[in-house]
Structure 1
């Protein structure tokens, strides 16, 4: 699965921040929830509009950003 297909950017949504599937769920919010100690199951239970693949896509996107390479080069 190409997780990056789940990450979208649109200047009309969340000021153009990378979001999940065009929804108002910025990747940074998903990462923040995980960083605060929430499990994937807790996130999905609290936010049924999200899918497990959205969380995995957020982690993949964050990893690629930290790699220091442009996303377009590694995607």
Structure 2
């Protein structure tokens, strides 16, 4: 995951991106949560690889384990 997700203060204000590009991890996650398929993402973003999508999901899992916040009812 670490080689696929990069954080660089000079790129997108230090937000996690795919391999130093300007494609934000949050963009990938939002598209997936909105119903986009892996195949659609791979077609829409030519430089994106399946391993990048998996790394984005793994990154989200790690963040979910980091801290729990109560959800509003």
> Does residue 25 of structure 2 align to residue 27 of structure 1?
yes
RMSD: 1.0
Q: Can you give the 5+ residue segments of structure 1 that lack an aligned partner in the other structure?
A: 70-75
Question: Number of matched residues?
Answer: 67
Computing the radius of gyration over CA atoms, which structure comes out larger, 1 or 2? 2
CA distance in 2, matches of 1:40, 1:49: 13
* TM-score scaled by length of structure 1: 0.84
* TM-score scaled by length of structure 2: 0.87
The alpha carbon displacement at 1:57 in A equals: 0.3
Aligned structure 1 segments of 4 or more residues deviating by more than 2 angstroms: none
CA distance in 1, matches of 2:14, 2:54: 21
